[in-house]
A and B are shown apart, each in its own frame.
Chain A
Amino acid sequence: MRLMVTKKLRYLKLYKAFFKNCLIREMEFRSHFIIQNIVSAVWALIVLVTFLFIFNHVSSVNGWDLHSMLLLTAIYFLVDRIFDSLFEINLWDLTTLVNTGNLDTILTKPVSSQFMVSLRKFSFSMFFSNLAMIGLIIYLIINFYSPISFIQIISFLILIICSIVITYSLWFISVLPIFWWGRLDNIHHLFRPFHQLGRVPIDVTGSLKPFFTYIFPLAFVSTIPAQAIIGNLSYWLLFYGIIISIVLLVISNKLWNFSLRYYTSASS
């Protein structure tokens, strides 16, 4: 147990070092930083505004009204942007690393190689977008979902972490075929359309709902975290969310190690 704690601390320290280097680098490219932030904020804003138009005509979609729909979308974008900040830039890089053979320099390091390829870089371009989404969620809670219990908030935060872990694991697994298929520049986009499904309340998928909850758990992307705030969450799902996050993370690690056997380390 003690060993595990020191190991965690070590990875936290290591992440701090990666983060520091990225911050130094990011400051070199100021205009990139500003423009990326504006683009990502505008994108989220447009999606949110479309709901105002839609709910001018209907009052609810399968039990989801305008406010819960805005909440769901804000959560989706928050998770999506956190994923982008932490992982997307790295998964994009992974294709290049495998195809050029530069993965070599990572694989020889005495650190979990999955950790290195997944978290080596941090993207600051979603920073304001993240802040805006957090602000929107707090606004919606205060105006439409208060009073809110402490347990609800804790459940929500745990489910957000589950959402990020599930998204990461599935996304990471979807990228692994590069070890066999070679040059696939857009493979890190393969999972995005599936992930977009998480923007829809899973209740509307009808008979597919159990599938999206338990087997291919896109319900945990934003529907279930939103339910924690709305107040109709069954606590069994909180428990299941933690379990499935751990299971998927372990599977992603096993598949990663398996895929490395097929790494050919291109060029000399």
Chain B
Amino acid sequence: MSLIEVKNLKKYYQVYQKEPGIKGSIKSLFHRKYENIKAVDNISFSIKEGELVGFIGPNGAGKTTTLKVLSGLLYPTEGAVSVLGYTPFDRKPEFQKQFSLVMGQKNQLWWDLPALDSFILNREIYEIDKDQFKKTLDDLTEMLDLKDILKIQVRKLSLGQRMKCELVAALLHSPKVLFLDEPTIGLDVVMQQKIREFLKAYNQKYKATIILTSHYMDDVKELCDRVIIIDKGKVFFDGLLDEIIKKYADRKILEVTFSKPVEKKDFSIIKAAKIKKFDPPQVIFSVKRKSANPVAAKLLEKFSVADLNITESSLKDIIREIFTGRDLS
């Protein structure tokens, strides 16, 4: 049984175009040229209980729009969506008590109050039992190391602390389904890592089903087994992370350390190898998968090599290649 089911979902927006300047503005007062934006264009997928799925795609690909439809915020133009057996847009309280949406750029905490006051308000909103509330709150503050800041006004907290508090506010009612939209945006590397570790632990401890969107490939790589790549409103890929590498990484990386000085032009004899990084004595080449071995052989034959290492190209590079449309098999 899948927990989340999306079939042929479409969400179109009408936006009007305005020519630049005052003249354009006056013109648009009387006559507006409308255009249909296909934010989500015929997307289908299903997600099982306990899965942690990553949505990736460039800005404006339709990731957030999909999450918003799943949360019942947006009314779909076409298609069927079901989450926990409910139609999200009906916004039934029984449904809303079982999921949570966290957006890195929007906050639900009261700005002028300590986070704890907002948590207590959420206890009322979600009708959480007092003992249960205390237990969950203790658990979450422990996991996120928040003890000391719960009584400080939210506006005085740092971005990272605020994000942690936002997570607590979203998790107090122990949602079965969690949608995270860019939860690590704007955070420093250390804080990103902490949030990631927390999400992983939360997913394992509470068996929550999580969908995550992120620009940071590390988020996805460390957290998700399965990814759905969305581009221009369509599903481009849906499967295991490893499969992307198999399917789209048609290049391998050769890291070579030379024992004698080399120059860039020396490598012009090996046509199949593209230099990625030239940092003597180390040179990194990007090579088509099938010519990786012949190139390695040739390098060993023509140069004096101290060390040679063949690896897969990084996920970041693969995704970048997919989205820029280069080197696609």
Contacts and interface: CB of A to CB of B under 8 A. Distances in A.
Contact of B125 (A14, A262, A263, A268): A14
A10 B79 CA distance: 35
Interface string B102-129: 0101111010110001101100111100
B9 interface: no
Interface in A1-50: 10, 13-14, 17-18, 21, 24-25, 28
Contacts of A102: 106-107
A71 B54 CA distance: 64
A25 B154 CA distance: 12
Interface size class of B (residues with CB under 8 A): 35 or more
Interface stretch (B92-100, B247-255, B264-272): B92-100
A268 B181 contact: yes
A108 B120 contact: no
A263 B74 CA distance: 7
A267 interface: yes
A265 B71 CA distance: 12
Interface string A252-268: 00000000111111011
Nearest to A14: B124
A107 B118 CA distance: 16
A110 B97 contact: yes
A263 B73 contact: yes
A107 B73 contact: yes
A262 B117 CA distance: 32
Contacts of B127: 10, 110
Interface string A102-128: 101101111101000000000000000
B181 A17 contact: no
B221 interface: no
Contacts of A261: 75
Interface in A230-266: 260-265
B13 interface: yes
A111 B123 CA distance: 12
Contact of B64 (A17, A260, A262, A268): A268
B117 A265 contact: no
B61 to A, nearest CB: 11
A101 B105 CA distance: 10
A104 B103 contact: yes
B72 A108 contact: yes
Nearest to A109: B125
A48 to B, nearest CB: 35
Nearest to B100: A108
Given A110-B93, A263-B74, A268-B64, A13 B100 contact: no
Contacts of A24: 113, 117
B112 A111 contact: no
Contacts of A110: 93-97, 125-127
Contacts of A108: 71-73, 96, 99-101
Contacts of B107: 102, 105
Nearest to A100: B106
A111 B95 CA distance: 11
B105 to A, nearest CB: 6
B105 A111 contact: no
Contacts of A28: 112
Nearest to B112: A25
Contacts of B75: 260-263
**Closest 3 A/B residue pairs (Cβ):** A110-B93, A110-B96, A105-B108
Interface of B: 13, 59, 64, 68, 71-75, 91, 93-97, 99-101, 103, 105-108, 110, 112-113, 117-118, 120-121, 124-127, 181-182
14 contacts: A10-B127, A17-B120, A24-B113, A25-B113, A102-B106, A104-B106, A105-B101, A105-B107, A107-B72, A110-B93, A260-B75, A263-B74, A263-B75, A265-B68
Interface of A: 10, 13-14, 17-18, 21, 24-25, 28, 100-102, 104-105, 107-111, 113, 260-265, 267-268
Given A113-B91, A267-B106, 7 more contacts: A14-B124, A105-B108, A108-B99, A108-B101, A109-B125, A263-B73, A268-B181
